[in-house]
Amino acid sequence: MPSITEAVPLPWVLTLAGALFCVGLFGALSRRNTVGILLGIELMLNAVNINLVAFWRYLEPNVVAGQTFALFVITVAAAEAAVGLAMIIAIYRARQTVNADEVDSLRG
């Protein structure tokens, strides 16, 4: 029975997840557009999920904890995207901009 555990060593998968996380971090830090920041955050969450699934598959394939946790992360990411985008739309209505550096006062 061929499986990924024999074909690909675990550090490769973890390196991939780390690289994805860092790319997402760069996106979240460097974009001016708030939607762009949100895209970076989504990438980081995905990287975390890859890590969780990889640990589940390589270390404890008969325990569901890894997959369950990844599902919760997906849930939270969906909720975060919904609220974040709603806030971006509200900010756009008030300020006619979506650039993070132009939205710098607390008053709405």
Nearer to another protein, 101 or 105 (CB): 101
Q: Which residues contact 78 (CB under 8 A, 6 or more apart)?
A: none
CB of 104 to another protein, least distance (A): 13
CB of 106 to another protein, least distance (A): 16
Residue 62 binds another protein, judged by CB under 8 A: yes
Nearer to another protein, 2 or 105 (CB): 2
18-37 positions binding another protein, by CB under 8 A: 18-27, 29-33, 35-36
What character string, x for contact with another protein (CB under 8 A) and - otherwise, covers 63-102?
Answer: xx--xx-xxx-xxxxxxxxxx-xxxxxx-xx--xxxxxx-
Q: Which residues contact 72 (CB under 8 A, 6 or more apart)?
A: none
CA distances from 105 to 28, 38, 56, 90, 91 (A): 20, 20, 44, 15, 11
Residue 48 binds another protein, judged by CB under 8 A: no
Sign of torsion over alpha carbons 45, 47, 48, 54: positive
